[in-house]
């Protein structure tokens, strides 16, 4: 008799991602040393449904799971512990203690114990200090990714798995709609990414993997239940002070009541379609960027004006970010103001942008630099 359907679903999702990780390692350029793949069939511990065997060699590639102790990430941790050793991959886990709640250090220690019981090695906790930039949710996310990046670099991990589900993807799309964002924001979370504000620096462009974007939250929780895995429900997820919490418990249920079931699936599908379109436009903009500059590398306003608006604004955004403006602080209204220097030129002065960057039109050229 095979595993419960929910367990089979999460294991299949993780297995597919691990195969992708191994493929990426194989496809690395010869100048980039890739970790050696261990012998398939050897496991590291006694995760649910797996029998213990000899540990894999230290030369085997390491994949980490970011685990908060919630149902989504515990399901992901259990699936990684089960699937990774069969492919010759070492499986480890990391939990981040944000220090935002009383007893958070104790809960982080409990998560480490649970990850160790699954057979994850290494299994560790990292404490962070959450700042205030961008609001509490954004600040906590930035601190979390910084900790995950540091741990992955230190441990030599080839990938970090994140437990975002199809429900999380739907919420992300709706949040983008509420902000009036463009198609890139509506594309939600990518299955493979390099983390917030990191377009691939230091070899991180494929670091983060999200196996559960096609798995619903209920399936992940059911997988934990049938495997008798203890989970922790973060009270912040129920706190109406947080926008995502209100959307999860009030907004989405109201939409499903008004429109019928299937809203989550439709939003997730919208994210994928939007991502395909956004990727194509980004590639077009990258190519166009090379054709709208003079011999000194300055942007020529006449050539920019001739581009389709969606492509031109992407070229402008690339230039502003390259000049030092933080991508996370750069919004559509900023790019629209810069765009008016091209399409609505009336002799206006410089445009001040996040990161002390300014954009100014000078002699038919668009000059973007840090002040």
Q: β-strand 192-193 against 208-209: which pairing, if any?
A: antiparallel
- Residues 209-223: pLDDT tens digits? 999 999 999 999 999
% the chain with pLDDT above 70: 88
Read off the pLDDT band of 39 (50, 70, 90): very low
pLDDT at position 76, please? 98
pLDDT band at 33 (very low <50, low <70, confident <90, very high): low
3-state secondary structure 10-31: HHHHHHHHHHHHHHHHHCCCCC
Residue 146: closest CA among 192, 208, 191: 208
As a whole number, the mean pLDDT across the chain is 88
Count the residues in the chain.
371
Nearest to residue 62, comparing CAs of 32, 31, 85? 85
Instruction: Give the mean pLDDT of 87-114.
Output: 90
**Region of residue 106 (left: phi > 0; alpha: psi -120 to 50; beta: else):** alpha
Flag whether pLDDT at 91 surpasses 50: yes
Q: What is the mean pLDDT of residues 230-258?
A: 87
- The pLDDT confidence band at residue 103, using thresholds 50, 70 and 90, is confident
pLDDT tens, 304-344? 999 999 999 999 999 999 999 988 788 888 999 999 999 99
Across the chain, where does the E strand assignment appear? 62-66, 90-97, 123-127, 159-161, 192-193, 208-209, 299-300, 351-353, 357-362, 365-370
Residues whose CB is less than 8 angstroms from the CB of residue 206 and which lie 6 or more positions away in sequence, other chains included: 24, 159, 192, 194
User: pLDDT tens for residues 177-206?
Assistant: 887 778 888 899 999 998 665 544 445 678
The token duo for 297 is 């590398």
More confident residue, 119 or 240: 119
Q: Is the pLDDT of residue 40 over 80?
A: no
CB-CB contact of 189 with 164 (8 Å): yes
Q: Is pLDDT larger for residue 313 or for residue 238?
A: 313
Higher pLDDT, 52 or 15: 15
């Amino acid at each position: 008799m095979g595993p419960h359907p929910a367990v089979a679903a999460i294991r299949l999702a993780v297995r597919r991602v691990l195969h992708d990780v191994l493929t990426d390692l194989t496809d690395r350029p010869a100048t980039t040393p890739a970790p050696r793949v261990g012998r398939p069939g050897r496991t590291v511990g006694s995760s649910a449904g797996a029998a213990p065997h000899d540990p894999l060699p230290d030369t085997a590639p390491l994949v980490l799971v970011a685990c908060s102790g919630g149902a989504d990430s515990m399901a992901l941790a259990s699936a990684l512990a089960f699937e990774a050793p069969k492919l010759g991959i070492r499986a480890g886990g990391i939990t981040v203690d944000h220090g935002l709640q009383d007893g958070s250090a104790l809960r982080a220690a409990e998560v480490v114990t649970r990850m160790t019981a699954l057979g994850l090695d290494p299994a560790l906790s990292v404490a962070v200090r959450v700042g205030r930039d961008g609001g509490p949710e954004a600040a906590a996310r930035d601190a979390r990714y910084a900790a995950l990046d540091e741990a992955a670099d230190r441990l030599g991990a080839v990938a970090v798995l994140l437990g975002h589900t199809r429900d999380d993807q739907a919420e992300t799309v709706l949040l983008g709609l509420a902000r009036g964002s463009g198609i890139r924001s509506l594309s939600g979370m990518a299955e493979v990414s390099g983390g917030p504000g990191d377009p691939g620096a230091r070899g991180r462009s494929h670091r983060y993997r999200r196996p559960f974007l096609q798995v619903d939250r209920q399936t992940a929780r059911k997988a934990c239940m049938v495997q008798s895995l203890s989970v922790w429900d973060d009270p912040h997820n129920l706190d109406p002070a947080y926008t995502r919490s209100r959307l999860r418990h009030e907004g989405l249920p109201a939409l499903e009541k008004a429109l019928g079931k299937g809203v989550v699936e439709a939003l997730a599908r919208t994210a994928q379609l939007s991502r395909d379109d956004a990727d194509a436009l980004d590639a077009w903009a990258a190519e166009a960027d090379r054709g709208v500059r003079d011999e000194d590398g300055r942007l020529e306003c006449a050539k920019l004006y001739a581009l389709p608006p969606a492509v031109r604004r992407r070229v402008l955004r690339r230039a502003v970010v390259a000049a030092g403006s933080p991508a996370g602080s750069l919004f559509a209204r900023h790019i629209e103001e810069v765009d008016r220097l091209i399409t609505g030129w009336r002799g206006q002065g410089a445009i001040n942008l996040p990161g002390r960057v300014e954009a100014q039109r000078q002699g038919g050229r668009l000059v973007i630099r840090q002040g």
